[in-house]
Every structure is written in structure tokens, then in C-alpha cells.
């Protein structure tokens, strides 16, 4: 089931972050997003009461995907597409995201969602990796 994220989900989202990313978002950042950012829209995928994926976005004149992940044990089951569909249903204007240049699996997934590579952001990540800027109009 896909639903809007709640404050009670922060620990689960932060754990997904820690298990997925080398530079994870913190509980403090996530809490601030859900409590204080009027542009933030976060959705979670829940199965049997457990958060197994999430997507965070900012919606202003356009939509920016901040972070997105699905628990490795539940990937390739359509959950990622369902999370993206939740954002697609409320997005405004163009949707953009950055993805690590070396993350070919994610890049292929985003291309299947209709995203196109438009630029490279050099040294974007804290370890010096480049990011690919992808957009969907």
C-alpha cells in the first residue's frame, strides 16, 4: 500500500536510507521535512505494517525528487513504480532528480519512468562521484 508518510515513519525511512545510501538522510532532516517544509511530499510503501520503500519530493514550480529507495528484499516487484506514480499524480511542471552516474540500475529504472539524462553534475556526491541530472516533462 502506498500512502503519505507520517512522523511515525521517520525511523523506518531513516533505516532504509542507512541500508541503501552511503550518505543517508538523517532523522533530524526527515523530521524537519515532514513537520516544517510546506513543499515536501513524502510517500511510503507499506507491507504488513512495515515500511519497505519511500520517495521524497519537493513540489514548487516544478517537482524535484530528493530521495527514493525500496528495501533490497522487495525490489523488482513494482513498488518503485507505485511510489513514482504517487508523485506523478500530484507533480507540477517538470520532474527532476539526480542519480549517481555509476548507478546503472537506477538510471535504467528512471528511463523506464520516462526520465531523460540532460546534464552531468561534477563531484556532486560527498565522495566526489558525479551525478546525472534527469528530467521528465
For 72-113, how does the pLDDT look when each residue is reduced to its tens digit (9 = 90+)? 999 999 999 999 999 989 988 899 999 999 999 999 999 999
Confidence of residue 56 (pLDDT cuts 50, 70, 90): very high
Residue 34 has pLDDT above 90, yes or no: yes
Q: Can you say how many angstroms the Cα of residue 57 is from the centroid of all Cα atoms in its chain?
A: 7
Between these two residues, 22 and 47, which has the higher pLDDT value? 47
- Region 15-24: what's the mean pLDDT? 92
Q: Which residue has the cell 539524462?
A: 117
Can you give the pLDDT at residue 27? Answer: 96
Can you give the pLDDT at residue 65? Answer: 97
CA distance 126 to 91: 28
Amino acid at each position: 500500500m502506498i500512502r503519505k508518510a507520517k512522523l511515525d515513519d521517520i525511523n523506518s525511512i531513516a533505516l532504509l536510507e542507512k541500508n541503501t545510501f552511503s550518505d543517508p538522510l538523517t532523522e533530524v532532516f526527515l523530521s524537519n521535512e515532514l513537520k516544517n517544509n510546506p513543499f515536501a511530499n513524502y510517500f511510503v510503501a507499506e507491507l504488513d505494517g512495515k515500511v519497505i520503500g519511500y520517495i521524497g519530493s519537493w513540489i514548487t514550480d516544478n517537482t524535484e525528487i530528493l530521495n527514493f529507495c525500496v528495501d533490497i528484499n522487495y525490489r523488482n516487484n513494482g513498488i518503485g513504480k507505485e511510489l513514482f506514480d504517487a508523485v506523478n499524480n500530484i507533480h507540477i511542471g517538470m520532474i527532476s532528480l539526480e542519480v549517481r552516474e555509476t548507478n546503472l540500475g537506477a538510471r535504467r529504472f528512471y528511463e523506464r519512468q520516462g526520465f531523460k539524462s540532460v546534464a552531468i553534475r561534477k563531484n556532486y556526491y560527498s565522495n566526489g562521484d558525479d551525478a546525472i541530472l534527469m528530467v521528465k516533462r
